[in-house]
Amino acid sequence: MSSSPAPVKPSSDIHRAWWKESSVYQIWPASFKDSNDDGIGDIPGIISKLDYIRDLGVDIVWLCPSYKSPQVDMGYDISDYYSIADEYGTVADVEKLIQGCHERGMKLLMDLVVNHTSDQHEWFKRSRSSKDSEFRDWYVWRPPRIDENGTRHPPNNWVSHFQGSAWEFDEPTGEYYLHLYATEQPDLNWESPAVRKAVHDIVRFWLDKGANGFRMDVINFISKDQAFPDAPEQDKDAVWQWGDRYYANGPRLHEYLQGIGNILKEYDTFSVGEMPFVKDTNEVLKAVRYDRNEINMIFNFEHVDIDHAPYGNKFKPGSWKLTDLKSFFERWQAFMYNNGGWNALYWENHDQPRSIDRYVNAPQELRPAAGKMLATVLALHSGSPFIYQGQEIGMGNVPIEWGMEEYKDIDCLNHWQGLLKEKPFDTEAQQISRQEYQKKSRDNARTPVQWSAEPNGGFTGPDVKPWMSVNPEYSRVNAADQVQDPNSLYHYWASVLKLRKAYLDNFVYGNYELVDRDNQEVYAYTRTYGTSKALVVANWTDRQLSWDTTAQKMGNVKVVLDTYESASAAQGRFSGCQWTLRPYEAVVTLLEE
Ligand code: GLC
Ligand code: CA
């Protein structure tokens, strides 16, 4: 599929940009803050918390989809790109939000979901109405395959990301349409110039309102191999197979991205692209290299797929080691730096479980320490850090005791329904899946933000039933307590982001090198700019341990941040050949010749 692209020249000179220096706070509107006691978070609720966000020291607020939507996939199924869902507010509210961000020196990033729309979008309603509709080719329609017995089959064997075939038969016109996600999320046909024009119009509409850029949903899926070939069989137990090689980073992707990139450039805004299944690094680079004018940075998936079973089986148990995680980081950190690309750094988002549970699984009393360690490691990597709501206070996964009725997400529920159908009496298989949902379901990220120890965690009124239950840990883990406590994770996040800016050359523009590669308990790396070298060392275990510093040439060590105490108090502990690290302790030092 990818014809060999022109070799990419490494960028020798350092390219500086405001978006490289920025960090981002991500908001999931339904669960952030409810302002009118209907149990659903909303835009006025977000506006009421802008000072809290600013005080964290972030530069950009990313608002997840808030457009009109039947909410089959929580707003990633848009039925009107020009209006806001009633439950969240109005376009005027978004304008106020943009203004509120700007007044506080922050920017607003909107979510652009244009691989697909909702099946309730006017475009799709018209498209499905007749083969002659002028909107017919706005979506991907193909005739059935008929076998020798005259039985109808989908045009190919691709699996949908939400289970089953990626094609749905539509009775009125006798053809199938493609949906890489839910049946209610038909894929747009980007081959049509009218579709591209319609997307450009949407982009301009929100930029004209003052939005500062877009996070682009599964943006590397928009160009598909027009032959729509069957995917090779990978998972022998599965009926439907991953067709990603025919739609991830497809033939016309760069042309399409430049179409949007040209508009973003006009407005001096920026974009971050979600790019699952990236394999060909040269293709990635063509999309993110700073002079390509496509997208500024990408989310890749290797480190968040780390606990999945093979063949994309997310809800089967998978295991990993610290060295696996380190090798993913090393690969992407070095790759982007050496080639003029840029990483979007994240542990969490609305599709991922909580990082303290996934990457650390610390005992109760050590969870805040673990959260600080994860904050340090992430934010001082090469790239722009993204913090997902609740991560700054260390919110955890849903309780293991929660029944299936508490889960709301289509990804998880479709899997559960499929399992019940396939193995109705296999209680063991059901039990295993239930355990995996508690570890990996997207619901883990979607419980309401725990603002205080009041009923419903202060997310909504005390007598209201929120759209999704609040995690009962709220009495112990909440924003009000942490804002009060100078030693909290919330304030620690603020100090890491401040440090990143204070040593911009090291932490934003410096070269990354992994230190002590084979160590399964400690993750250490350096960030070097000219002669200035910073060293980050993190104990990934719940035990105190001793780290042998001879792996790294030290010189004079100056502590600039520590997760347990002030830099000056910690200074005395970090000298000589053996450093003692407390459970989950992370320390940041400058090494002077
Ligand atoms: C992206 C979104 C996810 C959504 C999917 C389909 O992966 O992050 O939440 O379900 O795209 O739009
Ligand atoms: Ca509300």
Please write the tens of the pLDDT for every residue from 190-240. 999 999 999 999 999 999 999 999 999 999 999 999 999 999 998 888 899
Of the listed 59, 77, 217, 443, which one is catalytic?
Answer: 217
Position 40 scores a pLDDT of 98
Q: Which 8-state DSSP code applies to residue 356?
A: I
* Distance (Å, whole) CA 500 – CA 507: 6
* Distance (Å, whole) CA 453 – CA 449: 11
Position 172 scores a pLDDT of 95
Position 281 scores a pLDDT of 84
Nearest alpha carbon, ligand 1 atom 4: 76
The span from the first CA to the last CA of the chain, in angstroms, equals 49
The SS3 assignment for 207 reads helix
Mutate which of 64, 73, 114, 215 for ligand 1 pocket (most atoms within 8 A of beta carbon): 73
Ligand 1 atom with the smallest distance to the CA of 180 is 6
* Distance (Å, whole) CA 530 – CA 287: 28
* Most distant pair of Cα atoms in the chain: their distance: 80
Mutate which of 220, 351, 415 for ligand 1 pocket (most atoms within 8 A of beta carbon): 351
Of the listed 34, 73, 87, 274, which one is catalytic?
Answer: 274
The SS3 assignment for 308 reads strand
Question: For residues 555-565, b (16+ Cβ closer than 10 Å) or e, as one string?
Answer: eebebbbbbbe
The SS3 assignment for 439 reads helix
Nearest Cα to 349, choosing from 321, 390, 403? 390
Q: What angle (nearest 5°) sits at the alpha carbon of residue 549, between those of residues 548 and 555?
A: 160
* Distance (Å, whole) CA 53 – CA 46: 9
Distance 42 CA to ligand 2 centre (A): 5
Distance 459 CA to ligand 2 centre (A): 10
* 187 C-beta closer than 6 A to ligand 1: no
Position 296 scores a pLDDT of 97
Does residue 274 carry a catalytic annotation? yes
* 218 C-beta closer than 6 A to ligand 1: yes
Does residue 184 carry a catalytic annotation? no
Report residue 341 as tokens.
Answer: 């690309």
* Distance (Å, whole) CA 454 – CA 438: 25
* Distance (Å, whole) CA 74 – CA 31: 11
Q: Considering every ligand atom, which ligand is closest to the CA of 39?
A: 2
Nearest alpha carbon, ligand 1 atom 9: 351
* 351 C-beta closer than 6 A to ligand 1: yes
Crossing angle, helix 281-288 and helix 253-266, to 10 degrees? 20
Mutate which of 110, 217, 443 for ligand 1 pocket (most atoms within 8 A of beta carbon): 217
Half-sphere exposure of 162 (CA within 13 A, CB side): 22
Q: What angle (nearest 5°) sits at the alpha carbon of residue 246, between those of residues 244 and 251?
A: 125
Distance 514 CA to ligand 1 centre (A): 32
Express each pLDDT in 286-340 by its tens digit. Answer: 999 999 999 999 999 999 999 999 888 999 999 999 999 999 999 999 999 999 9
Distance 520 CA to ligand 1 centre (A): 33
Nearest Cα to 398, choosing from 448, 363, 360, 364? 448
Q: Residue 467 to residues 33, 76, 415, 470: CA-CA distances in angstroms?
A: 12, 17, 21, 9
Ligand 1 atom with the smallest distance to the CA of 350 is 9
Ligand 1 atom with the smallest distance to the CA of 442 is 9
Beta strands at 522-529 and 532-539: parallel, antiparallel or unpaired = antiparallel
Residue 152 amino acid letter: R
Distance 111 CA to ligand 2 centre (A): 20
Helix residue ranges per DSSP H, 234-351: 244-247, 253-266, 281-288, 322-339
Taking phi over 0 as left and psi of -120 to 50 as alpha, with beta for the rest, 172 belongs to alpha
* Residues 6 or more apart whose Cβ sits within 8 Å of residue 266: none
Report residue 208 as tokens.
Answer: 């004209």
pLDDT in tens, the chain (593 residues): 444 444 444 445 689 999 999 999 999 999 999 999 999 999 999 999 999 999 999 999 999 999 999 999 999 999 999 999 999 999 999 999 999 999 999 999 999 999 999 999 999 999 999 999 999 999 999 999 999 999 999 999 999 999 999 999 999 999 999 999 999 999 999 999 999 999 999 999 999 999 999 999 999 999 999 999 999 998 888 899 999 999 999 999 999 999 999 999 999 999 999 999 987 888 899 999 999 999 999 999 999 999 999 888 999 999 999 999 999 999 999 999 999 999 999 999 999 999 999 999 899 999 999 999 999 999 999 999 999 999 999 999 999 999 999 999 999 999 999 999 999 999 999 999 999 999 999 999 999 999 999 999 999 999 999 999 999 999 999 999 999 999 999 999 999 999 999 999 999 999 999 999 999 999 999 999 999 999 999 999 999 999 999 878 888 999 999 999 999 999 999 998 999 999 999 999 999 87
Report residue 413 as tokens.
Answer: 């529920």
* Distance (Å, whole) CA 144 – CA 177: 10
Nearest Cα to 113, choosing from 60, 65, 183? 65
Q: Which residues pair with 27 in a beta bridge?
A: 63
The SS3 assignment for 544 reads coil
* 73 C-beta closer than 6 A to ligand 1: yes
Nearest alpha carbon, ligand 1 atom 2: 217
Ramachandran angles phi, psi of 104, nearest 5°: -95, 15
Q: What is the pTM of this model?
A: 0.96
Q: Which 8-state DSSP code applies to residue 432?
A: H
Position 342 scores a pLDDT of 96
- What the chain holds in terms of domains, given with CATH numbers, is 122-178 (3.90.400.10)
Distance 60 CA to ligand 2 centre (A): 23
Tokens 């700054």 sit on residue:
392
